[in-house]
Chains A and B, each alone.
Chain A
Amino acid sequence: MEIILGAFVTSGLTLFIFSFLYKDNPFFKIAEHLYMGAGLAWYIQLTIYKVIIPNVWGPFRKAWENGDWFTIWMIVIPTVLGISLITQFIPRISWMSRYGFTFLMGYSAGLALPTGLSTDFMNQILGTIEPFASVLNLTTGQLLNSIILLIGTISVLFYFFFSVEHKGAIKKISNFGIYFLMIYFGASFGNTVMARFSLLYGRFDLLVRYSNAQYFYATNWIILGLVIYFIVEKFLIKKVIANNS
């Protein structure tokens, strides 16, 4: 029974959202509001049962029972700092949130800066020039690839360098970089289209699965209901227009 109900809810909400492609309607609004409300409610209960209880309340209770004050303070201090972040929404005591943010920013920056510099900056520069360190060992294809990569990287960086006015030679190089950007955006857009079609396939696959007898033809009933609604609505609108004229 729960499976059939789940099938009706899943295919129903999917089709309600898709119905917007035809035109705006109350079913779409229901699904939209449910998405926000149910999603938020799910996230709140998840935070309570998967984060607060196992990582804060559970260890706190265990430490309290054992009289382990060191662990108690190790739990209470970060918890208070975390709660202090919420005080930013209350103007009178929003100053408390500064302490929480200080730790958050300091910890994040301390971890992120050296790692980011190493992974996304130094390693990438190395990757661009490394092939030229052993240029005699490269095949023609590899050498051409490395040269194109080097020219592309430098010309795109020129495009994004705004401290100098783009004129003369700099303008020519940055314009050349635009072509590399266009190639990247084209590839990115093509991949985005493929990704969206993949998600659409996933939804349709689910709708087709739930149109079987095993799920009491859930998809079919929902589609029938929506078609009837739109026909009736069109008929009613025509009647209203006819009455008004």
Chain B
Amino acid sequence: MKETLNKMLKIDRRWLFLLLTFAIIIPILKPIGIPSKSTSDAVKDIYDFIDKLPPGSTIILSLDYDPSTAPELHPQAAVVLKHAFKKNLKVIIMTFLAGSGGLIDELVRTIPTKYSKEYGRDYVLLPYMPNILAALTQMSSNIYAFYEKDIDGKPLREYEMMKNIQSYKDIACVVDITGTAILDYWVAYVGDKYKVPILGGVTAISQVGYGPYLQKKQLKGLIGGMKGAAEYERLISEVGKGTSGIDALNIAHILVIVFIIFSNIVLLILKFL
């Protein structure tokens, strides 16, 4: 028995990779629909904040993620944009990450038409800016000093929705979806300094580190990872990539827990044999 158990512990890891592959592929091919009823307070806070904004308010949606973190953050960006359009908010979309161009393009190609939103009247796209510190501090007095033109090179001031927008004081809140530390910049240089409400969407890895900001209300709400996106989709009653990924996540997590428990039981048995 000892030899069998030792063999089990030395199993080729490629078999485990294969099991994990099946655990994730099978729910994609055949969705199971595992119920997910819990909603974290941080996601509820961000939903409530946006939900309570009066129609016509302008928000900044800073999408600072690239394809490496897209599976977690793209569903978040999509669901926040959908919620904003549902509430008839005006959205200024910007980015400080060069690789996000294609992903933003994918968002604005599909979502605005679904809600009958028009470019220039309901949303605008600002070009990529490399120097985030300069941009964030300059926008406190005059957005147009940095963003004279939109992404297509047309004067920004001429758009209908930008007519009453000069600086942060005309912005209801900022939602930053990012896989980098850019959210820290928004909190420090905009939220704390100019008292603009900051809401965030981050990868699950970074989510734990923003606990102190949430506790002190420096961040008004936070969406964490694909799970956070799924919770938000449930709140706005729209199924998206977040919800469809939860099945696979649940099965994969159960598999990992089984591996950990099984290997620990085997180790304990071997120790006392």
A195 contacts B28, C-beta separation under 8 Å: no
A197 contacts B188, C-beta separation under 8 Å: no
B11 touches A (CB below 8 Å): no
B140 touches A (CB below 8 Å): no
CA distance A50 to B131 in the complex (A): 12
If A198-B72, A199-B69, A204-B28 touch, does A191 touch B249 (CB 8 Å cutoff)? no
CA distance A55 to B14 in the complex (A): 50
If A118-B192, A198-B71, A202-B71 touch, does A191 touch B205 (CB 8 Å cutoff)? yes
A89 touches B (CB below 8 Å): no
B204 contacts A184, C-beta separation under 8 Å: no
CA distance A51 to B98 in the complex (A): 10
Residues of B within 8 A of A115 (CB): 188-189, 192-193
CA distance A106 to B6 in the complex (A): 60
Which residue of chain A is the closest to B247 with respect to CB atoms? A201
**Stretch of A63-71, A120-128, A167-175 on the interface side:** A120-128
Shortest CB distance B237–A (Å): 22
The 0/1 profile, CB within 8 Å of A marked 1, for residues 161-196 of chain B is 000000000000000000000000001110011000
CA distance A96 to B18 in the complex (A): 55
B252 contacts A197, C-beta separation under 8 Å: yes
A46 touches B (CB below 8 Å): yes
B225 touches A (CB below 8 Å): yes
Residues of A within 8 A of B17 (CB): 21
Residues of B within 8 A of A192 (CB): 204-205
If A46-B98, A51-B130, A111-B137 touch, does A191 touch B69 (CB 8 Å cutoff)? no
B205 contacts A197, C-beta separation under 8 Å: no
The 0/1 profile, CB within 8 Å of B marked 1, for residues 74-110 of chain A is 0000000000000000000000000000000000100
A201 contacts B24, C-beta separation under 8 Å: yes
Shortest CB distance B32–A (Å): 14
Residues of B within 8 A of A188 (CB): 205, 208-209
Shortest CB distance A20–B (Å): 11
CA distance A85 to B127 in the complex (A): 26
Pick the contact of B24: A111, A187, A191, A200 (CB < 8 A).
A200
Residues of A within 8 A of B253 (CB): 193-194, 197
B197 touches A (CB below 8 Å): no
B188 contacts A120, C-beta separation under 8 Å: yes
The 0/1 profile, CB within 8 Å of A marked 1, for residues 85-118 of chain B is 0000000000000100000000000000000000
CA distance A141 to B133 in the complex (A): 40
If A111-B133, A119-B187 touch, does A199 touch B192 (CB 8 Å cutoff)? no
CA distance A170 to B268 in the complex (A): 35
Shortest CB distance A156–B (Å): 12
Interface residues of A (CB under 8 A from B): 21-22, 43, 46, 50-51, 54-55, 108, 111, 115-116, 118-120, 123-124, 126-127, 149, 184, 187-188, 191-195, 197-205, 208
Return the 4 tightest CB-CB contacts between A and B, nearest first: A202-B71, A127-B216, A195-B204, A119-B188
Question: Could you list 17 examples of A-B contacts with CB < 8 Å?
Answer: A43-B98, A50-B127, A115-B189, A115-B192, A118-B192, A126-B216, A149-B215, A191-B204, A194-B204, A194-B249, A197-B252, A197-B253, A198-B72, A201-B28, A202-B71, A205-B28, A208-B29
In the complex, besides A126-B216, A198-B71, A204-B248, 6 extra interface pairs with C-beta distance below 8 angstroms are A50-B127, A119-B187, A149-B215, A194-B204, A197-B249, A205-B245
